[in-house]
């Protein structure tokens, strides 16, 4: 039995102006392929088809379908004439019922709040009444000792009961207020989607006799995706690195995924664990130098971690907002209160904020705190009707795929568009999952590896006084890793977060495992050798720095240490290295590299010195 896939064409035609019998086609989601942005949905269903012309209706679909991506394949003795994708603006997908249900819960909470507040007022009046009757026996006669004792016991007992009940009532009021606030935020989220239509697909068919048809419908939807995430564990530097590969998946498509098979396609502590990198330092005259301080709109590459809150136009939090580093697969989502935290890869420049029903916003990374307000997207979804050619196929036709076999008669179908899959690796999860359409993240483990690793310490004291432990993985391409955030665990302790740089073109993948405080590094300028002198028409500036490194650990270490000297950008400036303690000098970049072996408690001293000669009438910035 042959199976043919019909691709959609954006062509309108009057060939189907005849009457069609409407037949509902009930389908369920069987498989979902989740891309870094977007997901491909695969639905399956069976229906009895009457003789003659019929239109099969798939309703209640996501409003975020890419209409050009719809594919329909079927088995049965009938001909598919066309496939139409529409937006049904009359179906609000029971949004009003959901809002009414939430509003009823809020009304119930408001009644409980009112009762609790009333009880609090009664308790305060009760205490006031006790306070007014403290005076025993009037002003001229005193109370007996027994009366005084009884009065004290009575006052103590009553006041204790009042205070205890008052505390409990205040706790109830706080809890009820928090629950009411959550429900109000939920209403805000539901109301934002209230005007979204539901997706609908019409399949027009022709059958000579009543028959049964088996259908598979595939399409792409927006507002879904996944972020690569990792747990990197190192017991000690004598054991392999344990890498757990996870997918943080989310979906806000408007339709729940119930018990579906998932595939993931790679078609992306407050202190950062990302090791710094040097960039070439070009030296020029001051008049030719442009200084760019970090002001509004200027990108600050020194930022390693960004935190903030995302709000809507009413200053309400937007939970489930996607926050992605532009041009990478590094991203996260906001929590219930709209807060987010994201560790940045090196050279990150812009963040992209997106949420269903809101305008996507792109912002330069200008500081470690970036609060964002998103505005509602006023552009209405337009109804799209996509119609294909009808007719039967004769022989081999270009653009038609024939595959598979079935006990049912051949289905005669025409293909009009195809979904292009530009990814190379897919992760298939054996266990079915259910994911609600609420934008919340669900962490799914994809794989776990024990990787033989070379460990080495790395330091750039000009930028950071700490040493970073680097794991160097050879032949890492076999693991199909993507750029993403990673949680670092060293010696059974959480040590921070870093970014796994899977974009590297090197044969060795370097993973920064965070800072090691047991390696002490200092870099100071030696004033007596940092001076200025004149020879003829030239000025000569000298600089010298002393770098001290001490290994306080109980085991020997290998440390790669970097520093730099300036590189001349023009011929009138000459740079000469006077001392670099045996370091390897990069002539073009000015980078100086030392490979150090340090025994436990050993300390080493390095000297880096250079001279810069340039015309005395000019000025060069060396600090």
Q: Which of 407, 279, 354 is nearest to 1 (CA)?
A: 407
Is residue 237 domain-shared with residue 315, that is, in the same domain?
yes
Residue 141 pLDDT: 54
pLDDT at 44 > cutoff 90: yes
Q: Are residues 534 and 583 in the same domain?
A: yes
Does residue 197 or residue 205 have the better pLDDT? Answer: 205
Q: Are residues 186 and 236 in the same domain?
A: no
For the ranges 61-70, 196-205, 495-504, the lowest mean pLDDT is seen at 495-504
Helices and strands in the chain: count of H runs, count of E runs? 2, 36
Band (576; pLDDT cuts 50, 70, 90): very high
Is residue 622 within 8 A of residue 573, CB to CB? The reply is: no
- Residue 372 burial (CB count, 10 A): 18
Bridge partners (DSSP) listed for residue 620: 285
Q: Using CB atoms within 10 A of its CB, is residue 525 exposed (0-12), middle (13-18) or buried (19+)?
A: exposed
Closest CA to 306 of 354, 365, 226: 365
Same domain membership, residue 230 and residue 188: no
Which structure tokens are listed for 127? Answer: 């205490």
Per-residue pLDDT at 394 exceeds 90: no
How far is 88 from 85, CA to CA, in rounded Å?
A: 10
Closest CA to 563 of 607, 596, 614, 527: 607
Number of domains in the chain: 3
Per the domain annotation, does 136 fall within a domain?
Answer: yes
Indicate which CATH number applies to the domain containing 298. Answer: 2.60.40.1120
DSSP lists the bridge partners of residue 523 as 547
Do residue 361 and residue 260 come from a single domain? yes
**Of residues 361 and 20, which shows the higher confidence score?**
361
pLDDT at 401 over 50: no
The DSSP bridge partners found for residue 309 are 339
β-pairing verdict for 257-265 and 28-34: parallel
User: Is the CB of residue 503 less than 8 Å from the CB of residue 325?
Assistant: no
The reply to whether 274 and 368 lie within a common domain is yes
- The angle at the Cα of 371, spanning 369 to 373, to the nearest 5 degrees, equals 165
Chain centroid to CA 418 = 29
Instruction: Kindly state the percentage of the chain with pLDDT values over 90.
Output: 23
Residue 7 lies in a domain: no
Q: Which helix (H) or strand (E) holds 148?
A: helix 145-192
- The C-alpha atoms of residue 64 and residue 356 are separated, in whole angstroms, by 9
The CA distance from 376 to 582, in Å, is 61
Structural domain contains residue 229: yes
Maximum mean pLDDT: which of 51-65, 150-164, 401-415: 51-65
User: Quick one: 256 and 352 in the same domain?
Assistant: yes
Range of the domain at 346: 225-373
Residue 266: inside a domain:
yes
**CA distances, 614 to each of 56, 336, 526 (Å):** 82, 59, 22
Nearest in space to 599 (alpha carbons), one of 547, 560, 562, 553: 553
| For the ranges 117-126, 370-379, 567-576, the one whose mean pLDDT is highest | 567-576
Most confident of the ranges 282-296, 437-451, 585-599:
585-599
Residue 591 has pLDDT above 60, yes or no: yes
Which string of DSSP letters, residue by residue, matches 321-357?
Answer: -EEEETTSS-EEE--TTSEEEEEPPTT--EEEEE-TT
Over range 509-532, report the average pLDDT.
85
SS3 605: strand
**Residues paired with residue 471 on neighbouring β-strands, in sequence order:** 455, 511
Residues 244 and 178 in one domain: no
pLDDT classification of 188: cutoffs 50, 70, 90: low
pLDDT by residue (tens digit) across 210-241? Answer: 999 999 999 999 888 898 889 999 888 788 88
Please indicate whether residue 395 or residue 153 has the higher confidence score (pLDDT): 153
Average pLDDT over residues 366-394: 58
Residue matched to tokens 């109000």: 184
Q: Give the integer Cα–Cα distance in Å for 438 and 356.
A: 11
Name residue, tokens 């408001």: 110
Give strand pairing partners of 564.
591
What's the number of CA atoms in the CB half-sphere (13 Å) around residue 497? 18
pLDDT at 417 over 80: no
pLDDT of 548 above 90:
yes
Q: What is the pLDDT of residue 595?
A: 95
Q: Which two tokens stand for residue 48?
A: 């009895």
Within 10 Å of residue 48's Cβ, how many Cβ atoms? 9
**456 in Cβ contact with 558 (< 8 Å):** yes
Domain assignment present for 497: no
Range ranked top by mean pLDDT from 200-209, 287-296, 414-423: 200-209
Same domain, 277 and 355: yes
The CA distance from 1 to 411, in Å, is: 8
Assess whether 113 and 232 both reside in one domain: no
Which of 373, 406, 423 corresponds to the end of one domain? 373
- Which pTM was predicted? 0.57
Residues 296, 352, single domain; the answer is: yes
Task: Calculate mean pLDDT across residues 66-85.
Answer: 87
- pLDDT number for residue 477: 75
163 vs 462: which has the higher pLDDT: 462
Asked if residue 367 belongs to a domain, the reply is yes
CATH number reported for the structural domain that contains residue 541 in this entry: 2.60.40
Residue 507 has a CB neighbour count (10 Å cut-off) of: 10
More confident residue, 109 or 293: 109
Residue 362 forms part of a structural domain: yes
DSSP secondary structure letters along 153-186: HHHHHHHHHHHHHHHHHHHHHHHHHHHHHHHHHH
| Confidence (pLDDT) at 1 | 37
Beta bridge partner(s), residue 348: none
The answer to whether residues 232 and 369 belong to one domain is yes
Domain boundary among 308, 342, 373: 373
Buried b or exposed e, range 65-91, using 16+ CB within 10 angstroms: bebbbbbbbbbbbbbbbbbbbbbbeee
**Which of 170, 192, 214 delimits the end of a domain?**
192
- Whether 410 is covered by a domain: the verdict is no
DSSP labels, 45-76: EEEEE-SEEEEEEEEEE-TTEEEEEEEEEEES
- Distance, in Å, from the CA atom of 232 to the CA atom of 229, rounded to the nearest integer, reads 10
């Amino acid at each position: 039995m042959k199976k043919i896939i019909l691709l959609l064409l954006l062509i309108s035609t009057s060939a189907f102006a005849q009457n069609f019998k409407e037949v509902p086609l009930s389908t369920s989601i069987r498989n979902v392929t989740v891309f870094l942005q977007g997901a491909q949905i695969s639905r399956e269903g069976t229906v009895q088809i009457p003789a003659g012309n019929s239109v099969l209706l798939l309703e209640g679909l996501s409003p975020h379908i890419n209409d050009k991506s719809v594919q329909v394949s079927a088995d049965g003795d009938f001909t598919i004439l066309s496939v139409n994708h529409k937006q049904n603006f009359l179906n609000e997908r029971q949004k009003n019922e959901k809002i009414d249900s939430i509003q009823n819960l809020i009304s119930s909470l408001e009644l409980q709040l009112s009762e609790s507040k009333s009880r609090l007022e009664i308790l305060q009046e009760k205490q006031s009444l006790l306070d007014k009757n403290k005076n025993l026996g009037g002003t001229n006669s005193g109370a007996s000792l027994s009366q005084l004792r009884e009065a004290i016991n009575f006052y103590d007992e009553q006041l204790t009961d009042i205070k205890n009940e008052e505390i409990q009532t205040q706790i109830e009021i706080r809890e009820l207020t928090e629950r009411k606030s959550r429900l109000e935020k939920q209403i805000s989220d539901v109301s934002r989607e209230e005007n979204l239509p539901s997706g609908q697909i019409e399949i027009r068919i022709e059958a000579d006799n009543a028959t049964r048809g088996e259908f598979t419908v595939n399409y792409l939807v927006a507002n879904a995706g996944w972020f690569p995430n990792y747990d990197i564990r190192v017991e000690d530097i004598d054991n392999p690195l344990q890498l757990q590969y996870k997918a943080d998946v989310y979906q806000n498509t408007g339709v729940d995924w119930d018990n579906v098979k998932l595939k993931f396609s790679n078609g992306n502590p407050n202190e950062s664990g990302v090791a710094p990198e040097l960039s070439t330092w070009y030296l020029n005259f001051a008049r030719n130098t442009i200084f760019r301080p970090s002001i509004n709109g200027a990108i600050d590459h020194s930022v390693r971690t960004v935190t903030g809150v995302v709000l809507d136009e009413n200053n309400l939090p937007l939970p489930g907002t996607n926050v992605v580093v532009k041009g990478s697969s590094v991203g996260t989502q906001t929590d219930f209160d709209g807060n987010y935290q994201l560790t940045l890869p090196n050279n990150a420049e812009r963040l992209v904020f997106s949420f269903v029903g809101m305008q996507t916003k792109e912002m330069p990374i200008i500081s470690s705190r970036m609060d964002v307000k998103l505005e509602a997207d006023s552009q209405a979804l337009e109804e799209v009707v996509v119609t294909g050619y009808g007719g039967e196929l004769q022989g081999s036709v270009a653009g038609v795929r024939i595959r598979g076999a079935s006990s049912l008669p051949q289905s005669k179908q025409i293909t009009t568009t195809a979904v292009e899959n530009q990814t190379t690796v897919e992760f298939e999860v054996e266990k079915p999952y259910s994911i609600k359409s609420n934008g919340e993240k669900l962490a799914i483990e994809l794989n776990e590896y024990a990787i033989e690793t070379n460990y080495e310490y790395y330091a750039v004291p000009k930028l950071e006084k700490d040493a970073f432990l680097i794991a160097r993985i050879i032949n890492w391409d076999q693991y199909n890793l993507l750029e993403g955030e990673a949680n670092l665990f060293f010696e059974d302790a959480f040590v921070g977060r870093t970014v796994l740089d899977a974009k590297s073109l090197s044969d060795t993948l370097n993973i920064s495992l965070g800072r090691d405080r047991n390696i002490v590094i200092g870099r100071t300028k030696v004033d007596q050798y940092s001076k200025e002198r004149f020879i003829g028409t030239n000025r000569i500036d000298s600089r010298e720095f002393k770098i001290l490194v001490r290994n306080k650990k109980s085991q020997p270490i290998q440390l790669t240490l970097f520093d730099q000297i300036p590189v001349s950008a023009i011929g009138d400036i000459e740079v000469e290295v006077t001392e670099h303690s045996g370091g390897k000098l990069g002539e073009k970049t000015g980078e100086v590299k030392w490979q150090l072996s340090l025994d436990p408690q050993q300390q080493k001293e390095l000297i880096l010195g250079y001279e810069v000669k340039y015309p005395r009438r000019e000025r060069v910035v060396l600090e």
